[in-house]
Structure 1
Amino acid sequence: MGDDDRIALDRTDEAILKALQDDGRISTADLARAVSLSPSSTADRVRRLVDAGVITGYTATVSATALGYTITAFVRLAYPSGNYKPLHSLLDVTPEVVEAHHVTGDDCFILKVLARSMSDLERLTGRLATLGAVTTNVVYSSPLTRRRLEPG
């Protein structure tokens, strides 16, 4: 959705979005009760929000630490070329890179990387450094990992 593609949301749509962001597994019946609609009307509204691209999917939030990824880092990559195919190819085979953002400024990309150890992080940043200069920031803690989106 572009800036001009914003759809009009009423208070019920906003309540549905809030409830689904709080609990993506909420049943249609419970969601309907929460927003004071019938289950069929609620299902129709959710379907409309999906069709309009407002709701883009449903997913489980998984603990990286529970899976053995004890280190989170942000790696800034100064990519010297306009040919992004090598970067995309590396991202395709490096699942430890969980986010990649093309940004303005001295660096071209900011990557969120999960690692099992410092030596694992060194291996990962070494692979990324084959594409350009990297600067790595290790995360001490994350006081805010996720925030519910509110309509603007």
Structure 2
Amino acid sequence: MKRLRYEDQGLDGVDAAILDVLIENARVSIADLARRVGLSPPSVSERLKRLEEARVITGYSIAVDPAALGLPIAAWIRVRPLPGELTRVVTILQALPEIVECDRITGEDCFLAKAHLRSVEDLEALLDEVIPYATTNTSIIQSSPVPRRLPIVPRKERGAA
């Protein structure tokens, strides 16, 4: 199984370089990517295919400024479902388009969800969808001193097999 190549060891230098370039600009052409990592375009295409099959690369996307879309309010919402309501709360969170990400977490709360909204009134309406089935604790985001970024790309240590 090709996936095993990446599970127990870091990426080789070329795969790591490919990821570094894609993190910088996911729209880079195969020809430019090949030039930047010192391989032929067919070799880079094959490596990309293997990285995708191994789920090291799970997609290509763009970054959008929610405020520029008219969504100036961002909030983190901690959610603790009432007894027996976990599945219903998951369904509600999945159906709310304002929720842009949600993780199941350890600790007193079960979920941490991020929402982008037009107004505090819209935040209140969103919370009204959840609170019959869960308790919430909401924090409005003032600023983001560390913007969302991808994790560092681990590499094989020198001399590793």
Which residue of 44, 57, 60 maps to 2:59? 57
Aligned to 2:129: 127
Which residue of 30, 34, 43 maps to 2:36? 34
Q: Which sits farther off after the overlay, 100-109 or 5-14?
A: 5-14
- The alignment covers a number of residue pairs equal to 151
Which residue of 14, 18, 21 maps to 1:19? 21
Letter aligned with residue 58 of structure 1: Y
Aligned to 2:97: 95
Alignment of 1:72-91 (within 5 A): 72-81=74-83, 84-91=86-93
Give me the whole-angstrom Cα distance separating, in 1, the residues matched to 2:80 and 2:47. Answer: 44
Q: Which runs of 4+ in 1 moved over 6 A?
A: none
Give me the whole-angstrom Cα distance separating, in 1, the residues matched to 2:136 and 2:8. Answer: 36
Cα deviation, residue 82, structure 1: 5.2
Letter aligned with residue 72 of structure 1: A
- RCO comparison, higher one (Cα < 8 Å, 6+): 2
Give me the whole-angstrom Cα distance separating, in 2, the residues matched to 1:25 and 1:91. Answer: 31
What's the TM-score, normalizing by structure 1?
0.91
Aligned to 2:47: 45
Give me the whole-angstrom Cα distance separating, in 2, the residues matched to 1:7 and 1:82. Answer: 41
Give me the whole-angstrom Cα distance separating, in 2, the residues matched to 1:7 and 1:50. Answer: 17
Letter aligned with residue 90 of structure 1: I
The alpha-carbon distance between structure 1 residues 127 and 19, as it changes in their structure 2 partners (threshold 3 A), is: same
Please say if residues 7 and 52 of structure 1, whose CA atoms lie closer than 8 Å, have aligned partners that are also in contact. no
Q: CA RMSD in A?
A: 2.0
Identify unmatched segments of 5+ residues in structure 1. Answer: none
What's the TM-score, normalizing by structure 2?
0.86
Give me the whole-angstrom Cα distance separating, in 2, the residues matched to 1:139 and 1:108. Answer: 20
Identify unmatched segments of 5+ residues in structure 2. Answer: 155-161
Please say if residues 18 and 148 of structure 1, whose CA atoms lie closer than 8 Å, have aligned partners that are also in contact. no
Please say if residues 99 and 116 of structure 2, whose CA atoms lie closer than 8 Å, have aligned partners that are also in contact. yes
- The alignment partner of 1:65 has SS state of helix
The alpha-carbon distance between structure 1 residues 50 and 134, as it changes in their structure 2 partners (threshold 3 A), is: same
